[in-house]
């Protein structure tokens, strides 16, 4: 079963080949231009960021030795030979870890409540007024673009050192992030129930309560849980600026070179985060499954 290969006559072939080569050449030219731009950007950035490959090369041993030292006790024995010595501060760390989780929880819930209040005002399909919508959107943008740590720094001045500043920083950041996501959920709803309720003469808030809310609730909870996961990680480092939680012990251990403490706290945080991720993932899958059954 061989079929002869069709050879186009030269006269027909030549313009096709020329066109092909022109395309390839222009694409190559394009790639070269992009590569040149990237290389130029890298060169400029390297100057600005004081990149010193030699310094890195000379000191790279310190990085690996730092990582290795994390897993040795003061006495020089590896950490797993003496877990009691490694986790000497466990009661205190567990208390701080509990505080971290509580900060994340309260912050997430307060932020989600705020976002819930704002999202109907920010969604293009149901917002009562255009200017209000734009104002709410900008406000949410501001809340989520300024890093949580910056809010924490400012709140520490106002509320003093301690977890309250951390909670409020988490809440503000959550408000911004969830406000946007919730508004998008509301924008994706089916408008027929809302129109039906409005047509009976119901007020705006009634239409939202019975027309929009039932369609969005499971998505809201699912996003809030996802945010809770993120906030647990975030709360763990808020202590770096004095805003409560396990971060304050972590940064002290890093600054004072208590190597085994650093690894002990890091392992605790990693385990907690992994467990929380697993639990919330399970709840979210159930929620999304439930939401689909109802529809």
Partner 1 sequence: MTGRPKIDLAAVRSRHPHHFGRMDRAQITAAAVAAAALALLIYGMGELGFFGGTFLAGLRRLGEILGLMLPPDPGNWAHVRIFVMALLETVAIALLGTLSAAVLAVPLALLAARNVTTARLVRFLSRRSLDTIRSVDILVWALIWINVVGLGPFAGALAIMTSDIGSFGKLFSEAIEAADRRPVEGIVSTGGGRILGVRFGILPEVFPVLASQILYYFESNTRSATIIGIVGAGGIGLHLAEAIRTLELPQVSFIILLILAAVAAIDFVSSQLRFAMIGPRAGTAT
CA dist 288 and 280 (Å) reads 12
Tokens found for residue 217: 């609730």
Output the smallest distance, CB 270 to partner 1, in A: 5
Q: At what angle do helices 148-159 and 213-238 cross, to 10 degrees?
A: 70
Residue 189: other Cβ atoms inside 10 A: 19
215, 193 contact by CB (below 8 A):
yes
Query: What phi, psi does 129 have (nearest 5°)?
Result: -145, 145
Q: Toward partner 1, which CB reaches closer, 26 or 59?
A: 59
Task: Name which of 59 and 81 has its Cβ closer to partner 1.
Answer: 59
Task: Show contacts with partner 1 in window 229-248 (CB under 8 A).
Answer: 233, 236-237, 240-241, 244
Stretch 66-105: interaction string toward partner 1, x if CB under 8 A: xx-------------------------------x--xx-x
Site for partner 1 in 173-212 (CB under 8 A): none
Give the whole-angstrom CA distance, residue 32 versus residue 112. 48
| Candidate list 202, 230, 266, 288; residue touching partner 1; CB under 8 A | 266
Task: Report the 10 Å Cβ neighbour count for 221.
Answer: 16
Binds partner 1 (CB under 8 A): choice among 23, 26, 59, 129 = 59
Helices (H) and strands (E) counted in the chain, each on its own, are 12, 0
Q: Pick the stretch among 5-13, 35-43, 73-81, 175-183 that binds partner 1 (CB under 8 A).
A: 35-43
Of the candidate residues 85, 251, 252, 288, the single one contacting partner 1 (CB under 8 A): 251
Instruction: Please state, in angstroms and rounded to a whole number, the distance separating the CA atoms of residues 228 and 234.
Output: 10
Name the residues that contact partner 1, by CB under 8 A: 38, 41-42, 44-46, 48-52, 55-56, 59-60, 62-63, 66-67, 99, 102-103, 105-106, 109-110, 142, 145-147, 149-150, 153-155, 157-160, 162-164, 167, 233, 236-237, 240-241, 244, 250-251, 254-255, 266, 269-270, 273-274
């Amino acid at each position: 079963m061989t079929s002869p290969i069709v050879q186009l006559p030269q006269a027909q072939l030549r313009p096709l080949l020329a066109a092909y080569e022109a395309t390839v050449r222009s694409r190559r030219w394009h790639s070269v231009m992009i590569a040149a731009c990237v290389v130029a950007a890298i060169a400029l950035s390297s100057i600005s960021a004081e990149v010193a490959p030699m310094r890195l090369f000379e000191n790279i041993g310190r990085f690996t030795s730092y990582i290795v030292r994390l897993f040795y006790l003061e006495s020089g024995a590896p950490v797993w030979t003496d877990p009691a010595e490694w986790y000497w501060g466990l009661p205190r760390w567990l208390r701080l870890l509990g505080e971290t989780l509580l900060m994340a929880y309260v912050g997430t819930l307060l932020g989600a409540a705020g976002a819930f209040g704002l999202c109907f005002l920010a969604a293009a399909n149901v917002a009562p007024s255009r200017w209000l919508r734009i104002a709410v959107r900008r406000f949410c943008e501001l809340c989520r673009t300024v890093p949580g740590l910056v809010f924490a720094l400012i709140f520490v001045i106002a509320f003093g050192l301690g977890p309250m500043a951390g909670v409020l920083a988490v809440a503000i950041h959550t408000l911004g992030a969830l406000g946007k996501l919730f508004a998008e959920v509301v924008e994706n709803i089916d408008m027929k129930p809302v129109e039906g309720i409005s047509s009976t003469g119901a007020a705006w808030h009634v239409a939202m309560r019975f027309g929009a809310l039932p369609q969005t609730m499971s998505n809201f909870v699912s996003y809030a849980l996802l945010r809770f996961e993120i906030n647990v990680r975030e709360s763990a480092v808020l202590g770096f600026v004095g805003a409560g939680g396990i971060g304050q012990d972590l940064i002290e251990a890093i600054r004072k070179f208590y190597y085994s403490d650093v690894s002990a706290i890091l392992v605790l945080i990693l385990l907690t985060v992994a467990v929380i991720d697993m639990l919330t993932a399970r709840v979210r899958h159930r929620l999304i499954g439930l939401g689909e059954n109802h529809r």
